[in-house]
Amino acid sequence: MPAEAPEEPQAESGVLQTATFAGGCFWCTEAIFKRIRGVQSVTSGYTGGQMENPSYGQVSSGHTGHAEAVQVTFDPHVVSYDSLLDVFWSTHDPTTLDRQGADVGHQYRSAVFYHDEEQRRAAEASRERWQASGKFQDKIVTSVEPFSRFYPAEGYHQDYYDANPHASYCSIVIEPKIRKLLRDFRDEVKEEYR
């Protein structure tokens, strides 16, 4: 039986919502989103491919079609989907096809996986706004794809940055992204991470 994300819990202010983003290595993307106010949980995993319940090794081979992604459970009364999209565009390079830094392959693509029509429209409108903003010299290549299934990654991938802050990848790749988040989105960051 394939592992699937748990059912969405409820917030005091209502039902929580789910967003799914792929911005290269999921360690980076998870570390960013778990610091945002209103985010209840972030799970690293795989989505957008053909194989059921893939392993990290299978996804890393580039043959399953999956992207390394994060599933974000959030309270829309605290943080909007549009705000999450702004964090997404700002904390990775959406102009490189199938690549983030040294990570190369379709599994490292930039993608927004929408859960409903409202998210699709919001993601496409946000992508157009960011393209028109002039913040990127090159064309945004991020795909907006329908969400189908999400498979949580193996346990050692969850909370990777917080569990391994002194690992070289964390200090060289993830730390600068977190510093950028604190600089550009300080008011949206949870108090304990400021």
Strand partners, 47: 67, 150
Q: What is the DSSP string of 14-72?
A: EE-EEEEEEESSHHHHHHHHTTBTTEEEEEEEEESSSSSS--HHHHHTT-S--EEEEEE
**What does the angle CA 72 – CA 74 – CA 78 come to, to the nearest 5 degrees?**
145
Asked whether 26 and 110 are in contact (CB, 8 A), the reply is: no
Asked whether 141 and 110 are in contact (CB, 8 A), the reply is: yes
User: Which of 25, 67, 79, 178 is an active site residue?
Assistant: 25
DSSP H or E stretch at residue 143:
strand 143-146
Asked whether 83 and 76 are in contact (CB, 8 A), the reply is: no
170 annotated active-site = no
The residues annotated as belonging to the active site are: 25
